[in-house]
Structure 1
Amino acid sequence: MTTIVLFGSFALLLLLSVPIGIAIGVSTLLTIVYSGTIPIEFLMKELVTAVDSFPLMAVPFFILAGEIMGKGGISERLFNLANALVGNKTGGFAMATIVTCMFFAAISGSGPATVAAIGGIMIPAMVKQGYDKKFATATVAAAGSIGVIIPPSIPMVIYGVVGNASIGDMFIAGVIPGLLVGLSLMVWAYIYSKKQGYRGTFEKTSFSYIGKSFWDAKWALVIPLIILGGIYGGIFTPTEAAVIAVVYGILAGLLLYRELKIKDLPKILADSALTTSTVLIIVGTATAFGRLLTIEQIPTQVANFLLSISESEIVIILLITVLLLLVGCFMDTLAAIIILTPILLPIAVNLGYDPIHFGIIMVVNLAIGFITPPLGVNLFVGSGISGLSIEQLSKAIIPFFLAMIFSLLMITFIPELSLWLLQFSE
């Protein structure tokens, strides 16, 4: 009955459109009161101890770094470089948009931030080039999901903390899967553009043009090299890397590109603080929710249920995949990772999955949730930019969704895609 109260109240609150962090907290509180065996102070304690973590400090700094770089002239230069590389191909603008999102993903660590930073520039530009607005918006929304797959990634930081896994290893394991997802999206963009007759921006490119674009974007490209190189080189931790990213972003925006103004900083700090507070509320309440699940032995019950369905490793991992895809439709990515990792990770390890590999599987699964309604955060951001309805975008996003599912299956059943680069970091 306690389980019914916990999940029933949570589902009801979601149906009433209560914000996810508040819904998790209230359902946890109601269950504590109903059970009568756990002190109410349990919730308050978990809210504090959940965010009292040094690795978790990377989250607000990566959020701030993404805000700074999104407004510091970096997005436009990344697109110019991407356009120089693939802009002359069929559907060049669409593919350049996806490549730009991949570049920005290596800076921001956030899906919605990537859509907001790139979509504001690229959706109007693609429409001006003759692209259908629904296709243009769906392209940006889908590609924005790569923001949490290519490192640095905020969900990977959360998984590392909850699953007791190396955040640095998670980052390096996400590189090839992120590139694979981006390539899959580009393949569909090419096929659709070929069918619709969307030509490239120019017939020929040149090494000199590409070189000029690289040079113009050099200060932006240095950022992921500093972050990832410093982490893998043992120079600093992911948390310290996030701080360095903030400092570098401010210096690049103010002094190098000179498109970031001192007067812009208060709003950037306020926006970042708002996003951070939302994230930390989710982290705190989801941690309490997860601890309550453990006390009620729900992870054990779920594990026994899944293992009772089939002894086949493939069947069980596919069931986990379906579960994660469904959860991604209704629950925030960070909350899902905090709640489900203690439940699913032991099952995956029992099946022989490496914890780092399974972490990537979880992140990619939940990244797809950014483009699946009713939650679909990237769809809402894209809708706000383009003015299209969620219903229109939901139809346009289906081929991109299928492309991401294809990538997910490859990442799930070919562990080397996630683990191969780790052998070079040892």
Structure 2
Amino acid sequence: MGTGLLLFGSMALFLIIGVPIAFALGAAVWTTIVFSPDFLVTTGIIGQRIFGGLESTSIMAIPFFILAGNLMTKGGISKRLVDFANSIVGGVRGGMALALVLACAFFAALSGSAPATVIAIGSMLYPEMTKMGYPKDRTAGLLVVSGGLGPIIPPSIIMVVYATITGASISEMFTSGMCIGIMIMITLMVVVLLLARKEKWPKAEKRPTLKEFGETFVKAIPAILLPVIILGGIYSGLLTPTESAAVAVVWAFIAGMFIYKEVSVKDLVPIFLDSAKGSAMILFIIATSTAFSWIFAYSGISGHLVHFIVGMNLNKTLFCLVVAIILLIFGTFLEGIATCVLMVPILWPIAAGLGIDAVHFGMIVSISNVVGTMTPPVAVNIFSAASVSKLKMGEIVKGQIPFFIGYIAVFLLVVLVPGFSHIFG
């Protein structure tokens, strides 16, 4: 018990005083080894566990996905996707809000990142929507929740991490994520239509013509081909997820530099630097989380937790519900990747023992961690939307409530009905 308090207490202290998550995890491990009388190992084990946590070829897909997303973001992809989305749904009341949801879904299939989706689509649509008369808080709130499609619709970084830990099939995870992502998208669009009618949101003066639809579709084809390349390579069996991500980088480079011609040679260095920084942050969290998880297991804390949960004699459904609640709580103060690496090695063996499907459990993990991006205090989607909208956190949280309820409704269906994770499988 004392070791557990020292481990989690020191981590909480480091987070409170503003230490970045990756460093807080590593520092908590060091503090526990040095000051706990129960450990006979040296601090040298930290380095071994950190490097051991990165010994996986699947993890190499993460920097490739980030680089491909950055290349497409800088290459004018956001504008083409927004124009295409607007040509599909722009002619009804609340049409721009529908276009926002649809554009976030399209962009999610490129970036795999929730905050990146919020910033890319929000910077394009938020100013225009508020000028048209859309409520500022509702627009920012919709942006926060729609950005949550980023890690659900493949390619998804958190799904790659989960599959690396558990050995689950990445292609099956991506198939399930695509299905559930579409369900969330439809749910959000229904909520938009209801609110648009109730709150009298603006309506476009004219519907987009068939010609305009065709023109925007043609311009968006190079962008739409990117997820086709990624998913097609994986599902066909021709490419591994890592190889598919690398091919996506090549296509993103060709599209941005030679087709859209919005990426120049001088833009490449900043793009590479941003991608390296983003990749390093995620990989560092994975590495230190691995060391943290090892201490968690080595100290016997995880064993006590397992015995406690098993002793509750929960059936599959109740166990999944308890796990969802635990992950939602962790997600309010820990970054999603860190939560996944910390909790999955502890919870997955119990889930497997109960006969829970790896893909179903993976979707619970993935979606619960995305919900954490929308819930304070560690709510990166809200902070991202605030940077775009200049609204206060409280205003955005209030505006997102109807959309958040819709998102949670789909999440509960996934938790309670395993079949939702295998509709196409």
- If the length of structure 1 is used for normalisation, what is the TM-score? 0.96
Deviations 1:96-126 (A, max 9, x none): 1011010011111111111121111011121
Question: Any conservation in 2 of the 1:299–1:342 contact (CA below 8 Å)?
Answer: no
Instruction: After TM superposition, give the deviation of residue 24 of structure 1 in Å.
Output: 0.5
Question: Any conservation in 2 of the 1:60–1:272 contact (CA below 8 Å)?
Answer: yes
Question: Any conservation in 2 of the 1:330–1:375 contact (CA below 8 Å)?
Answer: yes
- Aligned residue number for residue 181 of structure 1: 184
Find out whether 1:122 has 2:98 as its counterpart: no
Deviations 1:292-347 (A, max 9, x none): 11212333322222233353433332221111111111001001000110111122
- Aligned residue number for residue 134 of structure 1: 137
- Aligned residue number for residue 17 of structure 1: 18
Find out whether 1:288 has 2:291 as its counterpart: yes
Matching residue within 63, 68, 74 for 1:65: 68
Decide whether aligned partners of structure 1 residues 366 and 205 sit closer, same or farther in structure 2, where only a CA change above 3 A counts.
same
Matching residue within 342, 347, 350 for 1:347: 350
Identify unmatched segments of 5+ residues in structure 2. none
Matching residue within 112, 116, 130 for 1:113: 116
Question: Any conservation in 2 of the 1:87–1:202 contact (CA below 8 Å)?
Answer: no
Structure 2: distance between partners of 1:407 and 1:139: 16
Equivalent positions of 1:406-417 (< 5 A) are: 406-417=409-420
For 1:25, the aligned partner's letter is G
Question: Any conservation in 2 of the 1:307–1:316 contact (CA below 8 Å)?
Answer: no
- Aligned residue number for residue 37 of structure 1: 40
Over the matched positions of the two proteins, sequence identity in percent amounts to 38
- Aligned residue number for residue 28 of structure 2: 27
Equivalent positions of 1:116-265 (< 5 A) are: 116-265=119-268
Deviations 1:48-82 (A, max 9, x none): 12112211011111111111111111111111111
Structure 1: distance between partners of 2:94 and 2:105: 17
Decide whether aligned partners of structure 1 residues 202 and 212 sit closer, same or farther in structure 2, where only a CA change above 3 A counts.
farther
Structure 2: distance between partners of 1:215 and 1:292: 53
Question: Any conservation in 1 of the 2:233–2:239 contact (CA below 8 Å)?
Answer: yes
Matching residue within 273, 287, 301 for 2:304: 301
SS in 2 for 1:407: helix
Q: Please provide the CA RMSD for this pair.
A: 1.5
Equivalent positions of 1:246-395 (< 5 A) are: 246-395=249-398
Identify unmatched segments of 5+ residues in structure 1. none
- If the length of structure 2 is used for normalisation, what is the TM-score? 0.96
SS in 1 for 2:154: coil
Instruction: After TM superposition, give the deviation of residue 348 of structure 1 in Å.
Output: 2.1
- Aligned residue number for residue 57 of structure 2: 54
Question: Any conservation in 2 of the 1:90–1:194 contact (CA below 8 Å)?
Answer: yes
Question: Any conservation in 2 of the 1:78–1:100 contact (CA below 8 Å)?
Answer: yes
For 1:9, the aligned partner's letter is S
